[in-house]
Every structure is written in structure tokens, then in C-alpha cells.
Amino acid sequence: MGSVKTGVILKDVSLEVNGGEVLAILGSKGSGKRALLEVISRRAQGPTRGQIILNGAPMSLRLFQQSCGYVTHKCDLLPGLNVEQTLYYAAQLTIGSQVSRYMKRSRVKQVMADLALSQVANRSTDDITQSEYRRLMIGAQLPTWDLDPLNTYLVISILSNHARKYSRAVVLTMEKPRSDVFPFLDRVTYLCLGDVVYTGATRLMLHYFRSIGFPCPELENPLMYYLCLSTVDRRSRERFIESNHQIAALVEKFKLEGGPFRKSAVKHEGHKFDTLPWNRNISVGWDYLKRFKT
């Protein structure tokens, strides 16, 4: 038998999210987004070290199952049920006999209202749209890459409103963040090959990167711009080497200077960000490679 190769997938990742906030984990494929969610949800295979704390208590698998929800990209629904029946069945499994049937149905109706599903309550899950399906299965991991722009915006806005209304913490991953979801993301974490390029309040992200010599160009989508900055460029050997060196420098820079941004408080002042330089009609290019300024 051959030897088993091992490697470190996540390296010194430290972040926080509070009730009422939405945290987006951003990165290209292979950056460690899914691995981080697996660790947080206590589903990770293999050795891990460090701590995950929920309300001051170490996160165990049992505590996660009692307090959190986790939805993967592919979720199987029971055939033959409509939307309301599916949610009621889920309530039966999670709440059990601790709550009356009336309270369960009331809770299901509230959930449908929160997720804009009331109008399709009696529709079979086989006949709902892709957006309605995503909203039905919404949870910790939000796969929006195959939704059209309007539905992506709708799902993210619903998550944000739900988090604030019920003081819930929402953690999601994205590969191609649109500019119009920027106001709904309270915190962002940029990963590249398991390293943290930035984690902290979204409203301070522009200030941080500007302070280290990487201001976002006017009319560009800052979420995508800094995602490109955090992605290894594989178009040529020279670009690959240069982008690797740049990202390594960005990672070290954040380790040295990112402390205040990592623990910065999030201010909820509505969905208005005067400093946001975006325009939904502007396409974002991928050629953001430049040498790191020391």
C-alpha cells in the first residue's frame, strides 16, 4: 500500500460573528471555504486543533445540532410533500413533542412568511422554482452561484433580515459575490489556500486594504476586486509565482496589522454605505495582479 499524503487545509484561521450578523466566507475553489464550514459544524474528518466557541461554551457536535443548522449544496427533499408539509416535517424532527402541534404550525407559517414562501405553501416541492427551493433549504451554507442576480439578492437580503430580526448569526460561503449584496454582509473573511487574507467588518475592509496600498478602483465591485486579489493567478508561470508571493505577503501583513479589524464591532445603520464604490452595470475584470507594496 502506498503512503497517505497529508496536508494542512486551514492555517491559523481566527474569526468571530455575533448574533444579528451575516458573515460571508469568500474565496476561489480550493481556498478552504467548505473545510472551514465543516470544522465549524464539527463534521470535519481528520485531526483539528483550536477551539470553536458558541456563547462562551466549546462547540461540540451535540451543541451544534441543538443550536445550529447546516445546509449543504445538495439537499434531498421527501417526495410527494408540499412546501408547508416539508417545513412541518422538519419541525417534527427538530422540535419533537416538546412543542404543541398548534405552535409548530404557527412557527412553520412564520418561517414561510420570513422566507417569502407563503404563496407556494401548497405547491409540491417538485414544482417550485430554483430560488424557492434555495429559500426552503436555506441555512449556514448558502449556495447562490447558480441563481440569477435578482434571486441571489433576494436570498441574501432575507438571510440578513432574518439574522437581525431573531438575533441569529449566519455564516455563508460565496465564490462570485455581487456588488449589490455588499450592504447585507456585516463581516467578510477572505481565504486563499487555507490562509486568511482579511477577516473583519465589511465596512472597514476598504479602509484596511487602502491603508496597505490596495485601494479599490472607483466603480469596481470591492467584494470581487479583493477576491481577485486573494486568488492565485494560474494563467502563466510568472503570474503564478508573482501572485503567490503577493498573497503570502498579504497574509503576513494581516497577521501583523489585522488585529483591530478582526475584532471590530459591526454597526447596523440600515443598508446605506456612502463609501461603497460600486455600479451594478460595471463588469469586473480579473487582472488585478500587482506587486505588494511594503
| pLDDT by residue, tens only, the chain of 294 residues | 455 556 677 888 888 888 999 999 999 888 888 888 888 888 777 777 888 888 888 888 888 877 787 766 556 667 788 888 888 877 776 655 666 788 778 878 877 887 788 898 899 988 888 888 878 876 323 323 344 556 677 778 888 888 898 888 989 888 778 888 888 999 999 999 889 999 999 989 999 999 999 999 988 899 999 999 999 888 888 888 998 899 999 999 999 888 777 766 666 544 433 333 333 322 222 223 332 333
Residue 195 inside a domain? The answer is: yes
Task: Tell me how far CA of residue 142 lies from CA of 27, 166, 246, in angstroms.
Answer: 14, 18, 29
Question: Total structural domains in the chain?
Answer: 1
Q: Is the pTM of this model over 0.75?
A: no
Residue 256 inside a domain? The answer is: yes
Please check whether residue 125 is in contact with residue 81, taking contact to mean a CB–CB distance below 8 angstroms: yes
Residue 7 inside a domain? The answer is: no
The domain of 224 spans 13-58+148-294
Residue 86 inside a domain? The answer is: no
CA-nearest of 149, 202, 194 to 17 is 202
Residue 282 inside a domain? The answer is: yes
Distance from C-alpha of 132 to C-alpha of 119, rounded to nearest angstrom: 10
CATH number of residue 289's parent domain: 3.40.50.300
